[in-house]
Structure 1
Amino acid sequence: SRLGENVTLSCIYNERALQLKNLRVYWQIADDPPPGRCLVVHALISGQDNNSNQCINFKDRTKLFWDRLENGDFSLLLLNVSQRDNHTYKCVVQEKTEITRVIHQAEVVLSLAASYSQPVLSGPIRNSTGEEVTFSCRSGNGYPMPKVYWINRANNSHLNPSKLDIHHNSDGTFSVFSTLTVTATSNMQIECFIENEMLQENLSANYTQQKQSNGSGTESDEKKGRGAQAVGIISLVILIGLLTVLICWLWRRRSSKLLSYTDVLPREDQGELNSPA
């Protein structure tokens, strides 16, 4: 079961019909406990719940399926499971007629798990072929302990981590931090894996950086960026020049119209424009 979920512990007796008033059903922890440790998970006596001796950590967290009891299904619903519920549980069914005898027993092993968060992989921003570079990978809130491994996808080779720290959190889950130091190549394709075997989950994060023979891919990108910037500046200068030419042309045209108008005014005063043709 995943942490925080509800789980059903199975206990089924289907050989014949039963009367609840004649039954006693006990659910208890079957692990080898230290002396004095509470073992009672749930109890049903003469068709009624009786949890006077129930362990405190199971209080209000256990339920039987009442509509199934007379059919021999004594399975127990355990709510909101956590790491402390990771036990072997035993179901004991007794029938009281003339004498009290055990008619059925079952054991259930509860294994708990929690998914790890999506790994976060960090790598060098820029590097040069032949230099040592370090990658880091982190993930958390999972259970049980994970397997962590690194792969170079360029040739599918496994890489040994430089450092692996697994921290046990206060809520019982684990967090993992791993680093990898390798020599940079012309084609960096590093992948980090966090594997939870119990849930059959395998989460990964990858880092890929293409690099050219005369320098890193980052340097090539910077050159492209500078080239694009230069093209933009040149385009802006050309645009400003064109606008300047257009403004000068419009100004000269306007000035020529003003000169023509001032030349017409004296002629109007002399009556030249009012004479018939």
Structure 2
Amino acid sequence: MGMSPSSEEELMREFDEAPGVISATTQEDPVELAMERDWQANLAAEEAARQKAEEEKYRKQSAKDTPKQAQHGRVLVMSGRFSKKTVVRPLRHSVQKRGAPGGGETFREIMPLMTRHIESDSVVAASDSGSGRTKALQALGVPAAQARHGLDEITPTVSFPSACLSNKQARTVRKAAAVKKKPAAQFSPKKKSFRIVGGDNQCESQIAIGKNQLRDSCITLASVMSYALRAYREDRAGKVGCNPAHFADVLKDSRWLFA
């Protein structure tokens, strides 16, 4: 007894749809599967690149539309704890987004000043942890105990191996360690390492002296300090730095008021 064509087709369809059975007529070509996967991957990569380009375009446009402001009165202060000498050098103004904190000093703008005014072979530095200043001190070969103000560090103690010191630097550390009241340095018992007090309190105190002198002279208030610093910067541009004790001398010429 024979089967009709329709019965054979129904039987084959049931056989193909049975669990665990793979029909030879429904198998896909591996090459086509690989091509399909590559096409989908390329499509996803193109979409990701398009989204990244749109985000970058939006970021640039947003940065372009953000109001900018120039920050004047930037100075580099270098002060010696033992020599009692202070050098204050003006820096060029910087441009920041309105409301943003002031940018730090860059390596390019402070390296010539530090090279000129710091005797690197006899100095051990204590400063804040600005990237430009850190790079400059490393280039000069000066060990630096730096305070990270972003982590609320004010006067941290930092350890260094004694082998990193030159003869003059070792003499400076010994001098600091010999202070009986609040020594700024201390050697280990075997003299193989030493600890020094970091931070830029010395320089900040010198700036405070200049501000107080300006206020005492009734020349300026804290709210208009930027104008006084602007006058100082313009008067001292290209000149050797001076002691903040003479900070108010620049204001003897009243022409800066109309600059």
Greater strand share, structure number: 1
Instruction: Tell me which interval the TM-score lies in, with the shorter structure as reference length.
Output: under 0.3
TM-score, normalising length: structure 1:
0.20
Find the structure with the greater CA-based Rg.
1
TM-score, normalising length: structure 2:
0.21
Greater helix share, structure number: 2
